[in-house]
Structure 1
């Protein structure tokens, strides 16, 4: 199965780097106010605001009356920053950031045409994504009502031209390198710079493009797109980006200044220049929190141990999966017999047949390109074509495992990934204080099968050697426990590797079209509701924030998110009210139109805690929830190993609390609150060091409860009427 825990770990730089003193407290740093009207956005830089004066900080303050999930200057006291494993506001309260990815439709240009793709690639535009500016108040009002006021704004590398011109109206979010290799992210000219022919990639299997041309919905195409990471186009591009100087030194191209540079320098410079332009354009905006530099990076061929097979444990095998050697031959215009893999059990897939591909002898390389039509890996002596035998020959089987010049064994993380993002000066002692860990998590078995029921599998555990019977879970409680264990493992691994740093799950979500799209026919979403609840319960237990994948206004039932057959959005503009019919008041149920599975993802959570959170649980079926936190106390022995439920709680490990008020987001649809704040405020008499506060809330009536009571009233009235009629007849 495809591993999403190693290859897709992300790091986000949040704001200006804080300076800490010997006690770990933050030195004063200027910081601009956050915008009150818009959700806080990550992927971009947050600018600090001044902290309260000493006289104000000397006594507990009551924050201005805003709302629990308000991350503006008014809602946070003017500051939102990192301290240990938490985001903290100016009052020292721990902030739990929850929100959405905006949006899946950003993977596709606004002027994309399925029929003409990949033609006219120089004219694409992303202006208008994720929605027209005039619609923004509608969408942000909706997300605020649902408690999701922290967003990931998905910017793409696509609006950058080869001449260094940037579409500053819409500025990297990468899957399988680029739309032109079957994913999203990098612009078409990056592939052309390496020598690929954009119109010659499909026939030789260098890329699977049906998914970006409206396909991916039928059974034979379901879930094929992740296999694109191993195909010739994406794997070559990733290798050239990370390690072109090592493995493709002969490929040199001219940069925007007319200078000849290596392909690695060319690609990385364009990427970094794009980020420079983006940071200059939006870095000082008030609602910007941080930058996620790259989405789901992949190593390409680096550390590939065999030209004749990919690693079954880490690389998805589904459909036609040519080996690296077969990809080289196919891309050079030679037919090759390739294995075909289908879903199976207990192993995820197995090879069931073979087929000769590229009988048309289409080349993936441009004759007028920098390789003069030759495969880049043939140019570097990795393989060759035996003209006498009329067959391909592998010449350097272990080429991608060692430095070709020195013979030293290479490591993608240590030799290529870290040096690009983390200079040598970033030692454990000098690591930037404003870095957080933002991995992605999905239930891989649910994604792979696009199904969910009473049986779930811990794929993470199986990939790490877990005994199979221990990896199987039954029922809804089992799904909650399964997902909770997996997410806890990821979070605690982050604490072990990076120390006490905030963790936010940057992507997590569920497919709306699971179980063969049954819900679209019946309008019964019970399995989607159960799966979303299990995932969010796991996140609740881990005490971390997240951004759900995804909120897509363009989603439709049968086309989904219109990218590789995905259908993750639980909102669709097509189902929603707009214009004069939409009321922006936070208590208005008109904002809920267009959403699915509301009761699963609209749920209470402690947004700002006057202490250190140690427990939270919510029961979707009753609306009841419990939360617990501890007031930082005297120095004590901290846990030897980082733990989700045993955070550092000593006073010197947490900034001074200047507010006693804990604010819990309490949805009006649950509490039947007709006010707009949707906030439950809890204020103890005093902040006693070491004291644990535990709150249990049982919601007796809500929007759902009202309907239940009304039904009982009608039933009771009917029974009374029947009794009265019977009495009158006997009288």
Structure 2
């Protein structure tokens, strides 16, 4: 199942272009089972359920899994202590996935560093080893966590967790991880410079997964790190906010204020909402005095690292903090100075174990980066940037006539303009691959929609039309750019109340709570009409069109032949085509293999022709005459002369 990379595409061993269509597995893999004894065994699901879930993904036409692991899952017990039971479980789950012809990308996942800083990823000991005290993070506003924010977990504000990118604990840990040797040269942990300590343990832990999968050819590659944070890197002035596009929601201390609060020093902090004060006037709603009550985010006998490094001092006369180096981090370019050296180190270790492993490059969310995307010359690399419609994600509401440009914060109105804006945004990501990564392929590592739109209304009514439309918008925009993608996400233990079991996110394609609304082996799939759709798995040439029209229930493929291979197209019989379908081709022949819930079409084109086309229509949607007229006019539009009825 090995893939070659060239000309911005994935190629299989037969020289066919492969469009990867997959899903992230799974949303709850960020969290362990239990609190007293941490274990990630059975994340994403028990081995006894694996055939059920992998079989469902195969029937839905998904060919690729971005498999979620975390550093904590591997090395939670302490530095250099690996969870062998979990690693054994991973290998067993990988082997079952191969039965269903699923390619796997290993995703070392993290969000805002760790569970103790509002997200997931790193083990607890990474915080305590540098002297932090997570029990005081809430009091000092060093992190915002669902368990300690002060309210009921079910009332945790929606999509507030990313504000931790701009809070002290996450920013400090990532700064030390990326550039500790430069900005904190005297800080050592267990005899190692702090940057070397953190990076070496992270890489060593992920390499344990490489070792147990090195003989599995369907493990096609590894990501470097999910959505890394820049920390303080690139911040122009520590007394101002991190950057103009910073996500401000709730308490929004400046970097220096965050350092002061973490040191137990009371501060006046801005509070922001998502109302007109932010988006029209660019001002906070109010300012509140935060009193730390003698609590510090550092352990009692530990002096703040940034004070030790001379970033600030406590004035001996006034006893007030004084910022000494406001521009310390400004000259550092995250891409060239931090990410590329790390990615090369990671790649060298990975390819010493799996020589042909693909590297999936992930920069921080582009709207949270102050520097530009760097030039990356690592061979066999893929741009794995993520993309979501911000309005749908943050407001949990599908508004086909309105969105916001995340870079300019300008509103966009009108259904057609919104769709075009999404297509342009994805094209910009693809163009970045060509400009900065030597025309590397692009795989959108995360994209998708929340299913709990409009305050969970669909769970009461059973009507998922808005979710279908929102998902179709996302995938149609991907198809318009001929992009590979892995949707976020599939969570086997999703519930309507708690979503994907992490920060109240609810983006899973599947939920047990929806099983009672449907019948059949795929009951529990939500808004399937949006993402279970015809698609080309492998194309014997360079595609110029591969798209599904949900309204007309038609699939169109067009390509310029580059090999005599056979093109493979997935057709879902259980969704869209329950009454059958009709296939037209410009030339050559088609034969069909039937499976449980889906068909695979094999299109052998006529090698005498340069350009080839295929059209799938729903049996009940057109009469034979209408279908013939539609197909022939469609083919003439592409300047193809032949029309064959198959």
Is 1:435 matched with 2:356?
no
Quote the Cα distance in structure 2 between the aligned partners of 1:576 and 1:458: 35
Q: Which of 397, 409, 413 lines up with 1:473 in the alignment?
A: 413
Q: What CA deviation, in whole Å up to 9, does each residue of 1:246-273 have, x standing for no partner?
A: 111221121xxxxx11111111110121
SS at match of 2:295: coil
SS at match of 2:24: strand
Is 1:344 matched with 2:249?
no
SS at match of 2:445: strand
Match of 1:12 in 2: none
Q: Which of 372, 380, 395 lines up with 1:449 in the alignment?
A: 395
Match of 1:298 in 2: 229
Is 1:103 matched with 2:26?
yes
Question: Is the contact made by 2:307 and 2:313 (CA closer than 8 Å) also made in structure 1?
Answer: yes
- Evaluate the alpha carbon distance shift between residue 573 and residue 175 of structure 1 in structure 2; reply closer, same or farther with a 3 A threshold: same
Match of 2:547 in 1: 617
Q: How many Å apart are 1:346 and its aligned residue?
A: 8.4
- Evaluate the alpha carbon distance shift between residue 167 and residue 389 of structure 1 in structure 2; reply closer, same or farther with a 3 A threshold: same
SS at match of 2:82: coil
Aligned residues: 557
Question: Is the contact made by 1:381 and 1:396 (CA closer than 8 Å) also made in structure 2?
Answer: yes
SS at match of 1:101: strand
Quote the Cα distance in structure 1 between the aligned partners of 2:136 and 2:451: 34
Q: Which of 297, 301, 308 lines up with 2:239 in the alignment?
A: 308
Question: Is the contact made by 2:269 and 2:287 (CA closer than 8 Å) also made in structure 1?
Answer: yes
Match of 2:294 in 1: 361
Q: Which of 193, 198, 213 lines up with 1:267 in the alignment?
A: 198
Is 1:242 matched with 2:165?
no
- Evaluate the alpha carbon distance shift between residue 461 and residue 687 of structure 1 in structure 2; reply closer, same or farther with a 3 A threshold: farther
Question: Is the contact made by 2:400 and 2:470 (CA closer than 8 Å) also made in structure 1?
Answer: no
Give the structure-1-normalised TM-score: 0.72
Question: Is the contact made by 1:215 and 1:565 (CA closer than 8 Å) also made in structure 2?
Answer: no
Quote the Cα distance in structure 1 between the aligned partners of 2:64 and 2:326: 47
Match of 1:166 in 2: 82
Question: Is the contact made by 1:304 and 1:398 (CA closer than 8 Å) also made in structure 2?
Answer: yes
Quote the Cα distance in structure 1 between the aligned partners of 2:266 and 2:376: 53
Q: Which of 416, 421, 430 lines up with 2:343 in the alignment?
A: 421
Is 1:540 matched with 2:483?
no
- Evaluate the alpha carbon distance shift between residue 675 and residue 290 of structure 1 in structure 2; reply closer, same or farther with a 3 A threshold: closer
Task: Write the mapping of 1:137-536 to structure 2, written as runs, cut at 5 A.
Answer: 137-158=51-72, 159-160=74-75, 161-170=77-86, 172-210=108-146, 221-254=157-190, 260-345=191-276, 347-348=278-279, 350-367=283-300, 372-401=301-330, 409-422=331-344, 431-460=377-406, 462=408, 468=410, 472-475=412-415, 477-536=416-475
Quote the Cα distance in structure 2 between the aligned partners of 1:150 and 1:169: 25
- Evaluate the alpha carbon distance shift between residue 81 and residue 576 of structure 1 in structure 2; reply closer, same or farther with a 3 A threshold: farther
Quote the Cα distance in structure 1 between the aligned partners of 2:174 and 2:51: 39
Q: How many Å apart are 1:460 and its aligned residue?
A: 4.1
Q: Which of 14, 17, 41 lines up with 1:127 in the alignment?
A: 41
- Evaluate the alpha carbon distance shift between residue 379 and residue 430 of structure 1 in structure 2; reply closer, same or farther with a 3 A threshold: closer
Is 1:567 matched with 2:506?
yes
Q: What CA deviation, in whole Å up to 9, does each residue of 1:276-303 have, x standing for no partner?
A: 2221111222421111121111110112
Q: How many Å apart are 1:317 and its aligned residue?
A: 0.7
Q: How many Å apart are 1:230 and its aligned residue?
A: 1.3
Question: Is the contact made by 2:405 and 2:412 (CA closer than 8 Å) also made in structure 1?
Answer: no
Quote the Cα distance in structure 2 between the aligned partners of 1:384 and 1:145: 61
Question: Is the contact made by 2:277 and 2:284 (CA closer than 8 Å) also made in structure 1?
Answer: no
Quote the Cα distance in structure 1 between the aligned partners of 2:151 and 2:177: 28
Q: How many Å apart are 1:515 and its aligned residue?
A: 2.2
Larger Rg computed on CA atoms: 1
Quote the Cα distance in structure 2 between the aligned partners of 1:281 and 1:83: 28
Q: What CA deviation, in whole Å up to 9, does each residue of 1:580-613 have, x standing for no partner?
A: xx9xxxxxx6232001101111011111111110
- Name which of structure 1's ranges 442-451 and 196-205 shifts more when overlaid on structure 2: 442-451
Match of 2:568 in 1: 663
The runs of 5 or more residues in structure 2 that have no matched partner are 88-107, 349-373, 581-593, 624-646
Match of 1:74 in 2: none
Q: How many Å apart are 1:81 and its aligned residue?
A: 2.6
- Name which of structure 1's ranges 340-349 and 165-174 shifts more when overlaid on structure 2: 340-349
Is 1:81 matched with 2:4?
yes
Quote the Cα distance in structure 1 between the aligned partners of 2:417 and 2:550: 16
Match of 2:584 in 1: none
SS at match of 1:524: coil
Q: How many Å apart are 1:692 and its aligned residue?
A: 1.2
Quote the Cα distance in structure 1 between the aligned partners of 2:509 and 2:344: 36
Match of 1:592 in 2: 522
Q: How many Å apart are 1:687 and its aligned residue?
A: 4.9
Q: Which has the higher strand share?
A: 2
SS at match of 2:498: coil
SS at match of 1:354: strand
Question: Is the contact made by 1:609 and 1:662 (CA closer than 8 Å) also made in structure 2?
Answer: yes
Quote the Cα distance in structure 2 between the aligned partners of 1:167 and 1:675: 39
- Evaluate the alpha carbon distance shift between residue 576 and residue 300 of structure 1 in structure 2; reply closer, same or farther with a 3 A threshold: same
Quote the Cα distance in structure 2 between the aligned partners of 1:280 and 1:606: 33
Q: How many Å apart are 1:95 and its aligned residue?
A: 1.1
SS at match of 2:289: strand
Question: Is the contact made by 1:168 and 1:281 (CA closer than 8 Å) also made in structure 2?
Answer: no
Is 1:684 matched with 2:605?
yes
Q: How many Å apart are 1:216 and its aligned residue?
A: 8.6
RCO comparison, higher one (Cα < 8 Å, 6+) = 1
Question: Is the contact made by 2:138 and 2:148 (CA closer than 8 Å) also made in structure 1?
Answer: no
Quote the Cα distance in structure 2 between the aligned partners of 1:675 and 1:250: 62
Q: How many Å apart are 1:686 and its aligned residue?
A: 2.4
Quote the Cα distance in structure 1 between the aligned partners of 2:567 and 2:168: 53
Quote the Cα distance in structure 1 between the aligned partners of 2:382 and 2:286: 45
Match of 1:257 in 2: none
Quote the Cα distance in structure 2 between the aligned partners of 1:430 and 1:507: 21
Quote the Cα distance in structure 2 between the aligned partners of 1:216 and 1:145: 39
SS at match of 1:494: helix
